[in-house]
Amino acid sequence: MALLGILSFLACFLVHASNAETLIIDSYGNATCRSQGEVHYWSLDGLGYHHQCDCKYLLLGSIIKTRTPFKVLSKNWYLPGDEIQRASWTKYVEVELRRLTIRLGQDKKVTLKIGPFSATVTGDSEMMLGKYGLIKINFGGNECAGSMPVIEPVQADDALRADFMPPPPPRCWISRFVTVEVPSIGLKVEFDGFADARVTLSKFWMRKVNGLCQNFDGDAMNDWRMRDGTNVEGMENPGTMIGNSYQVFDPEDPECQPCSLPDLPWMVFNGGLQRDPVFAAFAEAADDANTDCDLTRLCGDGYLNNTNSEEIAFLEESCKMDVTNAPAGMKCNLERTYAEQCGNFNFVCV
């Protein structure tokens, strides 16, 4: 009941500490949208695109009349000390459930807010919120790619057979994410406290949402659309056009304006970089990124042999952009992010 004391102004909530330590990846068996690095988006249907502006955006939100509407918002920013300001990162993610806002910020800072009241959450917690029911906040722990298998007792005769193989254990790892989960509506939002956000959504919401994560209709190729439905596939910098169309008002940055940055600033810099000391350092980092983002090292041959060339190219260019611009202390974290993206959960950065 520790959190209840912090949130005494939320009299309608029942809050208590959570003992749960295990989160199941894709526990709804459905789709995950990603907002990663600076900033690369993978829609719920699997389309990848880039967007480099630094305002606040609708990542995903319900568009049907429902008693349990939701919005997931993301705020982008240029990292402190970034002199170039050509590529933004995710600063924080917010989950809006009517009047309640849960912000997942830098360094895994979690804040709850209703109107003028706010409180900080520092540990695993659960709360009840009206028609939404149970809301879980988890700061990490064991995360598994599937539920625990049912292991039948091994009989002595079975163990003696030459072909006997015990059931494999689930693939688990230590989560990097703070997670907000609303099981009743099939919503899970994760943020790693730096730049990697994920939204997992129940199949119930197919064709009932929009945002940078797009419409969740099972067709990735119709995700090249702005908020008004304009198809920007094949146009110059379509990611910037899509991103700007989903900008929302930010009371903390009311003057923020849509930008015209190219989708791939990493490519724009190639060429005359050596003429400016700032760009020269950038060029050196870009050379290092060619090694750091070797997908054979990050993902393995199995991924490369079973993935289409467009997806591989998008993953590689995204990784190079991130590693080129990231603070040195975050590069290992980014490499792990991309290894996980292609299914290598055992990657170790050296």
Residue after which a domain boundary falls, among 208, 241, 262: 262
Q: Which residues is 231 bridged to in the sheet?
A: 225
Which of 83-92, 204-213, 243-252 is predicted with the least confidence, judged by mean pLDDT?
83-92
Shared-domain flag, residues 113 and 212: yes
Shared-domain flag, residues 189 and 217: yes
d(CA 9, CA 56): 28
Shared-domain flag, residues 58 and 206: yes
Shared-domain flag, residues 117 and 28: yes
Shared-domain flag, residues 330 and 248: no
Shared-domain flag, residues 18 and 135: yes
Whether residue 167 is contained in a domain is answered as: no
Predicted confidence (pLDDT) per residue in 268-311, tens digit: 454 444 444 544 555 555 666 667 777 888 888 888 888 877 77
Domain interval for residue 323:
264-350
Residue after which a domain boundary falls, among 262, 285, 311: 262
Whether residue 26 is contained in a domain is answered as: yes
d(CA 313, CA 122): 39
- Does an H or E element contain 119, and which? strand 117-121
Shared-domain flag, residues 272 and 189: no
Whether residue 326 is contained in a domain is answered as: yes
**pLDDT value for 280:** 53
**Burial of 324 from C-beta contacts in 10 A (0-12 / 13-18 / 19+):** buried
Nearest to 337 by CA among 89, 117, 24, 54: 89
Q: What is the mean pLDDT of the chain?
A: 77
Whether residue 163 is contained in a domain is answered as: no
Predicted confidence (pLDDT) per residue in 130-188, tens digit: 999 999 999 976 555 443 333 333 344 444 444 544 445 545 555 678 999 999 999 99
d(CA 106, CA 91): 6
Shared-domain flag, residues 190 and 309: no
Q: Do the beta carbons of residue 205 and residue 216 sit within 8 Å?
A: yes
Shared-domain flag, residues 68 and 183: yes
Shared-domain flag, residues 80 and 52: yes
Whether residue 162 is contained in a domain is answered as: no
Q: How confident is the model at residue 27 (pLDDT cuts 50, 70, 90)?
A: very low
Whether residue 159 is contained in a domain is answered as: no
Residue after which a domain boundary falls, among 262, 297, 324: 262
Domain count across the chain: 2
